């Protein structure tokens, strides 16, 4: 009997696993989704608590500091105002040129800012859970950006939360271009250990593209793939090596370390999603 008592936990675990294995896929899916939905209030509450904590820590600042920050903010707003005007002018010009050259317009996006609830980093995936979901109009596949460029794309959407797969994740692949070049190259997140600078793999790089530590090349989204808008910063490339087949080069892109510390992202929800 004592022997059986000792083995009971393992037996139970085995039974649970067996039951999970034989459960129909639909039940499993519902269970998994239910888990997310049940867990999300806890995550969201924790996220709000962190925000409150941040708010009270800010309240300890002196008036002078606040005044200085407000001035900075005003300056920043003014510069953004200017850039907005510039953007409007450029948009008109692009529309004119597209019309002239009979080019199709890129679909427009609606920006949906969302706080980061949780970071889920491992060797096999790198994801963020954000505090907005289907109730806010988020869709699977929508790109997520931040002030430094591209964050990734939404891979799962729940009622009030969504999962964003980061560009450092091996499961994410996109067509990028080198800044100033229009030939697409394949960008795929690498196998990145947590707490280390993230890297991504580059393939199909044309042979006449060069990048060295002394003169690195910026990598941006191509806009050709139909998922991400063009020109979003993706990473920096320091080395490129010719592959043995002589057709292309391969290399690694170093990603922005801020990706691992993000507290807020903006999801670009397509206004006219593809059918």
From 12-20, 58-66, 84-92, 225-233, span contacting other proteins (CB under 8 A):
225-233
**Residue number, 129 or 172, with CB nearest to other proteins:** 172
Q: Binding marks (x or -) toward other proteins, 150..179, rule CB under 8 A?
A: --------------------xxxxxx----
Q: Which is nearer to other proteins, 133 or 184 (CB)?
A: 184
When asked if residue 25 is in the footprint of other proteins (CB under 8 A), the reply is: no
**Shortest separation between residue 164's beta carbon and other proteins, angstroms:** 15
How is residue 254 written in tokens? 């170093």
The residue among 60 and 105 lying less far from other proteins, judged by its C-beta, is 105
Residue 6 CB, nearest distance to other proteins (Å)?
A: 39
Neighbours of 194 (CB within 10 A): 12
Least distance between other proteins and beta carbon 247 (Å): 5
Residue 201 sits in the site that holds other proteins (CB under 8 A): no
Give least dist CB 125 to other proteins, A. Answer: 11
Smallest gap from Cβ 224 to other proteins, in A, equals: 4
Rg (CA), the chain: 23
- CA–CA distance, 237 with 215 (Å, rounded to integer): 9
Closer by beta carbon to other proteins, 64 or else 105: 105
Taking CB under 8 A as the criterion, the residue among 43, 115, 148, 186 binding other proteins is 186
State the maximum Cα–Cα separation within the chain, in Å, rounded to a whole number: 86
- Can you tell me the distance from the alpha carbon of 198 to that of 50, in angstroms, rounded to the nearest whole number? 26
Q: Does 204 bind other proteins (CB under 8 A)?
A: yes
Structure tokens of 33? 């989704």
Give the residues across from 149 on adjacent strands.
Answer: 146
Per-residue mark of binding to other proteins, 239-258 (x: CB under 8 A) = ----xxxxxx----------
Binding residues for other proteins, total number by CB under 8 A = 24
Per CB under 8 A, 227 contacts other proteins: yes
Nearer to other proteins, 36 or 125 (CB): 125
Backbone phi and psi for residue 119, each to the nearest 5 degrees, phi listed first: -110, 135
CB < 8 Å & 24+ apart, contacts of 119-126: 119/260, 119/262, 120/163, 121/194, 121/195, 121/260, 122/194, 123/191, 123/192, 123/193, 123/194, 124/170, 124/191, 125/165, 125/169, 125/170, 125/171, 126/165, 126/166, 126/168, 126/169, 126/189, 126/192, 126/198
- Integer angstrom CA distances of residue 64 from 54, 67, 73, 88: 19, 5, 14, 36
Binding site for other proteins (CB under 8 A): 170-175, 183-184, 186, 188, 204, 222, 224-228, 243-248, 275
């Amino acid at each position: 009997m004592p022997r059986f008592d000792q083995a009971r936990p393992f037996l139970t675990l085995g039974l649970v696993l067996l039951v999970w294995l034989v459960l129909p896929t639909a039940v499993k899916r519902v269970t998994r989704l239910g888990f997310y939905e049940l867990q999300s209030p806890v995550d969201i509450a924790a996220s709000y608590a962190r925000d409150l904590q941040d708010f009270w820590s800010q309240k300890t600042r002196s008036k002078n500091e606040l005044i200085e920050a407000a001035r900075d903010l005003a300056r920043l707003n003014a510069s953004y105002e200017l850039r907005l005007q510039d953007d409007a002018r450029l948009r008109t010009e692009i529309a004119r040129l597209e019309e002239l050259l009979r080019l199709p317009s890129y679909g427009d996006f609606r920006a949906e800012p969302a706080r980061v609830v949780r970071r889920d980093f491992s060797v096999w995936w790198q994801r963020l859970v954000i505090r907005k979901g289907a109730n806010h109009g988020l869709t699977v596949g929508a790109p997520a950006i931040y002030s430094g460029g591209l964050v990734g794309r939404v891979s799962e959407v729940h009622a009030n939360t969504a999962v964003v797969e980061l560009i450092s994740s091996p499961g994410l692949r996109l067509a990028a271009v080198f800044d100033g070049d229009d030939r697409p190259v394949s960008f795929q997140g690498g196998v990145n250990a947590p707490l280390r600078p993230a890297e991504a793999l580059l393939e199909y790089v044309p042979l006449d593209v060069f990048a060295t530590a002394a003169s690195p090349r910026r990598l941006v989204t191509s806009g050709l793939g139909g998922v991400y808008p063009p020109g979003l910063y993706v990473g920096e490339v320091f080395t490129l090596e010719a592959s043995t087949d002589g057709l292309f080069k391969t290399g690694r892109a170093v990603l922005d370390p801020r990706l691992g510390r993000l507290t807020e992202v903006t999801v670009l929800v397509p206004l006219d999603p593809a059918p």
